[in-house]
Structure 1
Amino acid sequence: MIDHPVLFCLHFLGGSARIWRPLAERFGPHLRCVAIDLPGFGDEADHPGADVAAMADHVAARIKAEGPPGPFLIAGNSMGAKVALALARRSEDGDSALAGLAGLVLLAGSPPCPEPMEEERRQAMIAWIDADPETRQREAEAFVAANVGAPLAPEDHARTVEDVLRANPQAWKAWLANGAKEDWRNRIGILTTPALVVSGAKDGDLGPEAQAALTLPHLARHRHEVAVSAGHLLPLERPEALATLIRDFVAAPPQAAEAPALPPAFAALMGSDRVNTRLRTTLRERMREPDGPFCLQPDERATLRACLDRVLPQAGPGRIDLARRIDARLASGTGDGWRFAALPPDADACARALRTLDGAAREAHGRSFASLGGPEQDALLTRATSGDLPEIQGGLAPDLMTCWFEELRGEAVRTYLAHPAGLAAIGFTGIGAGGDDADALPGYRLTGLNERESWEKPVLDTVGDAR
């Protein structure tokens, strides 16, 4: 739980600090909102605008000036969310001004990658901001109306239109032409800062599917909530519901994925004198999560993780993170010593294959592979085994996808069984065949069908006889 935090709030394109008032009024004394006007908007409209890094500088300076006495969070709506992600990366990289960051609240957030938007609509928005007053008024009204699931209260609508009209035209154009297109995927990477992600079910560009595909892969600890019947301007549309979600998030931030635990009987065997010291050391080392380097993009790893969940499902909490381990192996350049000659080197082949899977999913279903249901994912993987996937720019040819998927299945099993939790899950007791004393190797004495040594029984009782 985070005690009495400060919530720094960053608005959407054309908005201002004023959009956060309905939310702030619902928090009471236990959570203080500090709303910030980004350069070119609200009371900062005299600035011509800035790129994402410069906006992050602006916010970091405000946070430092406020000097929050304890932990703080950053909330961002749309454009503000991309700035919030950049600030979280700086915090995790050791920026002392952001050392107290304890959480992110991303509302209909612009993702780390270039924001999905039809170019024709982008150019139309750029054009009308410099038009005559009558056109600007009409288009600002339409802009606000198009970004909500249902009409705002008249006073909220009028105030939001006023914010759009007082925005600096250069700042408006700078975001649409450049800021929204900036690619921060490599710089953001995967953040460990807890995050609450909220998307509107009626948000056309940045709704639930976009958040799942483009933002969530960058967040190791997240909770994703969907606001039914809401659009893009969530602080104005759902202040009551957001206040509840944020209070719950502050009380219980999402945790990192639970590490796999060893069953007590297997852990006891691994610590016994039946296992030699060198093997025990190796097994314990294999339980550590790799901390990099990695080579896959977060969205590629999300596709890989979804693929591996179908290839080798793991039930219950504490699953082995096969995707993270395979990613680290690819980055290290190590492997089992061979590959199909027709395939590119392992890391390149994997990245291209994952792009093919994701592209095929979007072509068939209009959504990322990771956001599909199990049956749809299985159907695409079945097509991969038969060389029936479409050609995707930057991907692998259909026949090479067959080779890659065969290798991946073998890699999944090897990675799973290299982990002690995987060995425990299948009831493997072979680790207990010899201790440190070469002259007194305990070995196996009972070798008949279904015969068990007394020391094997506690392990095998949990899964059945798998020897």
Structure 2
Amino acid sequence: MPTESAPVTDGAPLTLYLLHALGASSGSFDRLADELAGDVRVHGIDLPGFGSAASAPDATLDETVDHVLRHLAGHANGPWMLGGHSMGGKIAALVAARVLRGDAPLFGLRGMVLMAPSPPRPEPMDEERRERMLSWVDGGALSEQDAETFIDQNTAEPLDAGAQSLALADLRRTSPTAWRAWLETGSRVDVTADVQTLDLPVLVLAGTDDADLGASAQPELLASVYPRARFTALPDTGHMIPLERPAEAAEAISRFVADEVRVGPVVPDDWARLIAGDRVDDRVRGILARRSVPDDRGYAPRVLDLAQLTLLREIADLVVPQDGPAIDIAGRVDAQLARGEGDGWRNADLPADVEAYRTGLDHLAATWPTDPAERVETFRAAVEGDADAEGTFDAAQLKAWLEDVRNDLVRQWLAHPASMARVGYDGFATGGTPIRGYVELRLGRREDWEPANVGGTIATGDAA
């Protein structure tokens, strides 16, 4: 059965859904759940052929992904993370890809935690060892001796009695068919085309004493899949991280959550349910899911230089002041420029967008005050066309460019689902099959499917 720790007491509750390793179960995360209690809720999911689902019908890799998605659809509310250990890491990648594409009725994914994960590409494994492991189920379920051998081969030091007993029980009740299917097919199949690149916060934990999926191997296996991955090595640790090092793993997860996951606003639960529902087209859901992913605190500008991006962030604070966890709208504008996207037009007196941003920011930087109060007046003068005309832009060009800047910054803020919730905009929920719409449109009218705050007034600077 799934395991879950006590709910958090501060901030929006955050749940980490974890998929277990080959021959394990959701119970392998019990100790991790205890260590993270009060910070992150841990919810393990038994996969077909393992744990409480050991007697489930045989499942392919795609069917296992569907099993996880159904479970999440029934349990994932509010902000959540997804993770996996070993075999579960490959399955988690496929699940996350479908969530971020909008192909599943889910919303709220904010990051991933992977422990010695099997990569989306074929898993590196010594073929002699693979054949030996397959031979263990030739006559049925794993014997106690073979299960003990498996544990010894995958740990750096002997497990304590409780962990050893749990691991043995999980291995011995594992479905021989599921064991064979993973070793013969699941671990060998290449799903990189399905997963592609997952641009969200990711923590990768791996042991220094793990043979094939250890700390030295993971960056090469995963860096192209998870560009924002944080790789953390666990010394004197083998492959069975949740049982070998639950305290150390929990500490790394807590740091990761504080640094990279609890960043930016959280979409209110009723709005998250609306986005996940059948009124929203898959493509739209995917766009909103990707927009709600926490910003990269270490974002490296792609078009602007660091000084220009810093100044744009200061301008953003004037244009769209944000209280509480903020959206990095300046960083999002830089990414927009790098993609060559815009609003479809430009002032004839200005150069192309990238050149205009670089020129305008350098122009402002020459006289930009360090005093925040003085910045307000400097910015107001530039917006009104009364700025110092010295520089590449004249006062009229600077004014015209700042119109574009303000438009871009506000658009990036409003595009975030949390901002849509703040202003009460739910016009994205008019899709689905068949297409849904509004029964009537008039001031003060809220339909039954709409969130409670639609039509209300919510200040831009309010916390989500």
Q: TM-score, normalised by structure 2?
A: 0.56
Contact between 1:48 and 1:168, CA under 8 Å: does it hold in 2?
no
Matching of residue 86 in structure 1 with residue 94 in structure 2: yes
Is 2:301 the partner of 1:259? yes
Structure 1 CA distance for aligned equivalents of residues 83 and 307 of structure 2:
43
Aligned to 1:253, the other structure's residue is in SS state helix
Provide the secondary structure at the position in 1 that maps to 2:124: coil
User: How much has 1:131 moved relative to structure 2?
Assistant: 3.5
Kept after mapping to 2: 8 A contact 1:90/1:98: no
Give me the whole-angstrom Cα distance separating, in 1, the residues matched to 2:127 and 2:176: 19
Q: 1:50 aligns with which of 55, 59, 79?
A: 59
Report 1:218-233 matches (<5 A): 218-233=225-240
Q: CA deviation at 1:247?
A: 1.4
Partner of 2:221: 214
User: How far is the alpha carbon of 1:96 from its aligned partner?
Assistant: 4.4
Post-superposition offset of 1:210: 2.0
Query: CA offsets per residue over residues 216-267 of structure 1, 9 Å max, x none?
Result: 2101222110001101111111111111111122212172642143476999
**Counterpart-to-counterpart distance in 1, 2:309 and 2:80:** 42
**1:163 aligns to 2:163 (yes or no):** no
Q: Could you say which structure has the higher helix fraction?
A: 1
Distance in 2 between residues matched to 1:152 and 1:228, nearest whole Å: 15
Equivalent position amino acid for 1:51 in 2: T
Equivalent residue, structure 2, for 1:33: 42
Which residue of the other structure, out of 327, 337, 340, is the alignment partner of 1:288? 337
Take 1:57 and 1:207, find their aligned partners in 2: how far apart are those partners? 28
CA distance 1:65–1:207, change in 2 (3 Å): same
Amino acid at match of 1:259: P
Note if 1:136 corresponds to 2:143: yes
Equivalent residue number for residue 64 of structure 1? 73
Structure 2 residue aligned with 1:249? 256
After the TM superposition, list the runs of 4 or more consecutive aligned residues in structure 1 that deviate by more than 4 angstroms.
263-268, 284-287
Counterpart of 1:209 in 2: which secondary structure? coil
1:173 maps to which residue?
A: 180
The separation in 2 between residues aligned to 1:83 and 1:224, in whole angstroms, is 19
Task: Return the letter of the residue paired with 2:234.
Answer: A
Tell me the distance in 2 between the aligned counterparts of 1:31 and 1:286. 31
Q: Take 1:218 and 1:288, find their aligned partners in 2: how far apart are those partners?
A: 23
Change (3 A) 1:121 1:5: same
Q: 2: CA distance between counterparts of 1:137 and 1:86?
A: 32
* Separation (CA, whole Å) in 2 of partners of 1:95 and 1:455: 50
Letter in 1 for 2:97: R
Which amino acid letter does the alignment assign opposite residue 258 of structure 1?
A: A
Separation in 2, partners of 1:2, 1:188:
31
State how 1:314-393 maps to structure 2 within 5 Å. Answer: none
* Matched residue type, 2:40: L
Q: Match of 2:208, as an amino acid?
A: A
Q: Is the 8 A contact 2:20 2:47 kept in 1?
A: yes
* Cα distance in structure 2, aligned partners of 1:62 and 1:171: 19
Q: Paired residue for 2:28, among 19, 24, 47?
A: 19
Q: Provide closer, same or farther for how the CA distance between residues 263 and 122 of structure 1 changes in structure 2, counting only shifts above 3 A.
A: closer
> Alpha-carbon deviation of 1:148?
0.9
Cα 1:144–1:291 change in 2 (3 A) is: farther
Q: CA deviation at 1:47?
A: 2.2
CA–CA separation in structure 2 for the residues paired with 1:266 and 1:250: 25
- Give how far 1:99 is off: 1.4
Over residues 49-97 of structure 1, what are the superposed CA-to-partner deviations in whole Å (9 max), with x where a residue is unaligned? 423221111111111112x331111120000111111111001101342
Q: 1:146 Cα shift?
A: 0.8
Structure 2: distance between partners of 1:265 and 1:193: 24
CA distance in 2, matches of 1:60, 1:265: 42
- 18 and 173 in structure 1: CA distance in 2 versus 1, 3 angstrom threshold: same
Instruction: Give the gaps of 5 or more residues in structure 2.
Output: 1-9, 262-295, 312-332, 342-353, 363-389, 393-464
Secondary structure of residue in 2 paired with 1:212: helix
Aligned equivalents of 2:198, 2:115: Cα separation in 1: 17
The farther-off stretch of 52-61 and 95-104 is 95-104
AA paired with 1:138? Q
Tell me by how many angstroms 1:287 deviates.
8.1
Q: Structure 2 CA distance, aligned partners of 1:33 and 1:44?
A: 19
Deviation string, structure 1 residues 362-394 (Cα, Å, up to 9, x no partner):
xxxxxxxxxxxxxxxxxxxxxxxxxxxxxxxxx
Q: 1:230 corresponds to which letter in structure 2? A: T
Alpha-carbon RMSD across the aligned residues, in angstroms, is 3.2
Q: State yes or no: 1:118 paired with 2:126.
A: yes
Query: Gaps spanning 5+ residues in structure 1: where?
Result: 269-283, 293-418, 428-453, 457-467
Q: Residue 95 in 1 paired to residue 103 in 2? A: yes
CA gap of 1:90–1:266, structure 2 versus 1, over 3 A, is: closer
> 3-state SS of the aligned residue for 2:16?
strand
Change (3 A) 1:93 1:162: same
CA, structure 1 residues 176+48, in 2 after alignment: closer, same or farther (shift >3 Å)?
A: farther
**What amino acid maps onto 1:243 in structure 2?**
A
Shift of the 29–170 alpha-carbon distance from structure 1 to 2, 3 Å rule, reads same
Rounded Cα–Cα distance in structure 2 between residues aligned with 1:175 and 1:14 = 10
Tell me the distance in 2 between the aligned counterparts of 1:266 and 1:220.
Answer: 21
Q: CA deviation at 1:6?
A: 1.0
CA contact (8 A) 2:21 2:86 kept: yes
TM-score by length of 1: 0.56
- Give the secondary-structure state (helix, strand or coil) at the position aligned to 2:83: strand
Say whether the 8 Å CA contact 1:63–1:97 is kept in structure 2: no
In structure 2, what is the equivalent of residue 201 of structure 1?
A: 208
**Amino acid of the structure 2 residue aligned with 1:147:** N
The code of the aligned residue for 1:233 comes to M
1:76 corresponding residue in structure 2: 84
Letter aligned with residue 253 of structure 1: E
Question: Residues 145 and 96 from structure 1, CA distance in 2 versus in 1: closer, same or farther, beyond 3 angstroms?
Answer: same
Q: Which residue matches 1:326?
A: none
> Does the C-alpha gap of structure 1 residues 286 and 154 become closer, same or farther in structure 2, counting only changes over 3 Å?
closer
Amino acid at match of 2:60: D
Is the contact made by 1:108 and 1:200 (CA closer than 8 Å) also made in structure 2?
yes
What is the identity, as a one-letter code, of the residue corresponding to 1:61? Answer: R
